[in-house]
Structure 1
């Protein structure tokens, strides 16, 4: 059986991180809706892999989910944060995406074993 300790650490880190707040700029709101939609697909799979009721290789479209997260991370750089709150939120979203990517990479690694 595969060593899941790195996944479990990434899982705990991801679940401990609060989801960032709601931005004010419309362009930023549209971006955050894309992340929220994607984020809504991931937790069910994470919980099942974490409790052993699902193998990472059974997650449908794992590679596509990972690419979507990477795309969102790149598009975040293109968003203009116009208020101090949005500047702060942009950094919170960036931190959230880094942790999400790390956790997804652990899933990809488990799926490859």
Structure 2
């Protein structure tokens, strides 16, 4: 089965994004560790779908992944920067999680 054009575009856009730098802000480091786990989980399945080794419909619990990522994105908005570098990194994480959100939603549809 050929996956949707939206999924393929979301995957290519996501893969083109570098993972944001490791944060100095402790609260953001804790948040980052959760993102790393979720990112690896989603990216692993998405890569298999993109390569044609797995149908998107067979990816388990995509709705739960959408919810987890939504919760993670809301948690990111609660983190307050202490320095300009923190604020810039928060913006990078927002862009990265938006691309990951687009990918997982395309995977789920």
Is TM > 0.5 for Structure 1 vs Structure 2? yes
| Residues in 1 aligned to 2:52 and 2:25: alpha-carbon distance in whole angstroms | 41
Shift of 1:3: 5.2
User: Over aligned residue pairs, what C-alpha RMSD do you find?
Assistant: 1.2
In the alignment, structure 1 segments of 5+ residues that lack a partner are none
Normalising to structure 2: TM-score of the pair? 0.93
CA contact (8 A) 2:23 2:86 kept: yes
Normalising to structure 1: TM-score of the pair? 0.90
Q: Segments of 4+ in structure 1 off by > 6 A?
A: none
| Residues in 1 aligned to 2:72 and 2:3: alpha-carbon distance in whole angstroms | 29
| Residues in 1 aligned to 2:32 and 2:44: alpha-carbon distance in whole angstroms | 20
- Paired residues in the alignment total 109
SS of residue paired to 2:85: helix
Q: Residue deviations 1:79-112, cap 9 Å, x none?
A: 0111111110100000011111111111111xxx
Paired position in structure 1 for 2:84: 84
Q: Residue deviations 1:67-89, cap 9 Å, x none?
A: 11100111111001111111101
Shift of 1:2: 5.5
CA contact (8 A) 2:27 2:79 kept: yes
CA contact (8 A) 1:10 1:99 kept: yes
